[in-house]
Amino acid sequence: MFSGMFVFTAVERIVYGQPAAQALRAEAERLKAQRVFLLVSGTMNRTTDEISKVHDALGDRFAGLYDRMPAHTPRDAVLDVAQAARAADADLIVTFGGGSVTDAGKMVQICLRHNITKHEEFDAYHVDVKADGTRRVPEFDGPKVRQIAIPTTLSGGEFQPGGGCTDNRTKVKQSYRHPLLIPRVTILDPAPTVHTPLWVWLSSGVRAIDHATEAICSGSSNPASDASFLHALKLLSQGLLRVKKDPGDLDARLDCQLGVWLAMQGRQGGINMGASHAIGHVLGGSCDVPHGHTSCVMLAPVLRYNRSVNAARQKLVAEAMGRPGADAADVIADFVKELEQPGRLLEVGVTHDQFAMIADHAMHDSWLHTNPRKITSVEQVYEILESAA
């Protein structure tokens, strides 16, 4: 008998299609937050008035601001922002920016709850994965100071109860999980996203397609999740092309944001990702490849690697993206090319001499060991990397 479990997350509200500043003010009032700390995109803060709109809307609820979070959320920067939020006596963290900023908000919550002030103190809280796939998921008290997310890219971290943080000492990106790390509220306002560099928007959109694709091909999906993933692929594939044609199309941008929501909502059933995500984590944390570009270069090769075990599920991907009967890997590769994003490892600066390190680190990522086609050795990771070179 078909069976499973769908676990609902600790999300209270998704607010969409409303001005971010107005929506945030209303949510801060509803939550009775008095000391709101903003963790924001530096570029958005320094080159637009979007952050000042939020600052002004909060009025005397505004408690402080940090705008220097680098890509891939390094520990040292998280410690800096946690110190600032602690000094401000923050009772609500608001993140306004891309995936690294969203993840930083989650990490700050852990730091505030457990008084983390040193590099090595993070070690007790991250998921530890052995090369054979066995893992330790630490149990710890959840945050008391929670998060509202206003995302400006399509990476989707605002919809999941986990985050990534890079250990500066080893250049390894590690994951942290707790049910309360998911933001209480996410505000989807397409207007500020016109300031996001177009390549970031489009490539992070491919990341969202990666979420839906690996999930629907995972073998652990369910009918409710399938419905979310398939509609997510439709909204994202059409919306991204419309934004590529007209970056000012706010309706298309909102469709993309709603597509991300659907792609991530479907994963609430405990659905596993695969090798594209696992290798992508290493490419980001250890090779400095932008988050979205990791999916641009890895998703098609991983689909080809897995085709022998999930060809029927891959057909669903091609159909949802408007090309029924086509090979899903070709659909993804062609789509990435149409968006004018990099499709090979060499195009993102990753060369053969890094493959040994990438393969070794990938063996310690949880998602590698839930790939539909079982991976048990670095040689198999090499095979995928070679096909993506």
Instruction: Let me know the angle formed at the C-alpha of 99 by 354 and 25, rounded to the nearest 5 degrees.
Output: 170
The pLDDT value recorded for residue 29 is 98
Q: What is the DSSP letter of 31?
A: T
38-48 burial, b at 16+ Cβ within 10 Å, e below that, comes to: bbbbebbbeee
The answer to whether residues 296 and 211 belong to one domain is: yes
The answer to whether residues 178 and 230 belong to one domain is: no
State the CATH number of the domain containing residue 380: 1.20.1090.10
Comparing 85-89, 268-272, 337-341, 347-351, which segment has the lowest mean pLDDT?
268-272
Question: Does the structure show a pLDDT above 90 at 309?
Answer: yes
Count of CB atoms within 10 A of residue 299's CB? Answer: 30
The answer to whether residues 33 and 108 belong to one domain is: yes
Residue for token digits 């600790």? 10
Question: Does the structure show a pLDDT above 90 at 3?
Answer: no
The pLDDT value recorded for residue 86 is 98
228 located within any domain:
yes
The pLDDT value recorded for residue 269 is 65
Give the Cα separation of 162 and 58 in Å (integer).
27
The string of pLDDT tens digits covering residues 205-244 is: 999 999 999 999 998 888 999 999 999 999 999 999 999 9
Q: Give the 3-state secondary structure of residue 50.
A: helix
Q: What is the DSSP letter of 123?
A: G
Provide the pLDDT confidence category of residue 19 given band limits of 50, 70 and 90: very high
In the chain, % of residues over pLDDT 90: 91
Count of CB atoms within 10 A of residue 251's CB? Answer: 12
State the CATH number of the domain containing residue 55: 3.40.50.1970
The answer to whether residues 160 and 263 belong to one domain is: no
Number of domains in the chain: 2
Beta-bridged to residue 13, according to DSSP, are 185
Structure tokens at 47: 């080159």
Give the Cα separation of 294 and 53 in Å (integer).
33
The answer to whether residues 254 and 313 belong to one domain is: yes
Q: What is the DSSP letter of 9?
A: -
Is-contact 50 84, C-beta < 8 A?
A: no
The answer to whether residues 274 and 231 belong to one domain is: yes
Residues contacting 245, CB < 8 A, separation 6+: none
The answer to whether residues 76 and 141 belong to one domain is: yes
Give the Cα separation of 336 and 334 in Å (integer).
5
Residues contacting 40, CB < 8 A, separation 6+: 51, 65, 66, 67, 95, 96, 97, 101
2 located within any domain:
no
The pLDDT value recorded for residue 183 is 98
Residue 93 structural domain: 13-191
The answer to whether residues 223 and 361 belong to one domain is: yes
The pLDDT value recorded for residue 5 is 78
Is-contact 217 317, C-beta < 8 A?
A: yes
The answer to whether residues 166 and 312 belong to one domain is: no
The answer to whether residues 206 and 248 belong to one domain is: yes
Beta-bridged to residue 140, according to DSSP, are none
Q: For the chain, how big is the Rg over CA atoms in Å?
A: 20
Structure tokens at 238: 């059409």
Provide the pLDDT confidence category of residue 11 given band limits of 50, 70 and 90: very high
The pLDDT value recorded for residue 79 is 98
The pLDDT value recorded for residue 6 is 80
309 located within any domain:
yes
Q: What are the angstrom distances between the C-alpha of 49 and each of 52, 164, 183, 191, 363?
A: 5, 29, 24, 12, 43
- From 173, 191, 209, the end of a domain falls on 191
Give the Cα separation of 47 and 369 in Å (integer).
42
The answer to whether residues 143 and 186 belong to one domain is: yes
- From 137, 163, 191, the end of a domain falls on 191
Question: Does the structure show a pLDDT above 90 at 267?
Answer: no
Q: Which of 40, 120, 27 is nearest to 79 (CA)?
A: 120
The pLDDT value recorded for residue 2 is 76
173 located within any domain:
yes
Question: Does the structure show a pLDDT above 70 at 361?
Answer: yes
How many residues comprise the chain? 389
The answer to whether residues 161 and 225 belong to one domain is: no
Q: Rounded to two decimals, what is the model's pTM?
A: 0.95
Q: Give the 3-state secondary structure of residue 178.
A: coil
Give the Cα separation of 281 and 370 in Å (integer).
15
The pLDDT value recorded for residue 141 is 97
Count of CB atoms within 10 A of residue 292's CB? Answer: 27
Comparing 150-164, 224-238, 257-271, which segment has the lowest mean pLDDT?
257-271
The string of pLDDT tens digits covering residues 202-215 is: 999 999 999 999 99
Comparing 81-90, 144-153, 168-177, which segment has the lowest mean pLDDT?
168-177
Q: What sign has the CA pseudo-torsion 229, 231, 234, 239?
A: negative
Is-contact 361 286, C-beta < 8 A?
A: yes
- The torsion of the CA quartet 19, 22, 23, 29, rounded to 10 degrees, works out to 170
Is-contact 73 165, C-beta < 8 A?
A: yes
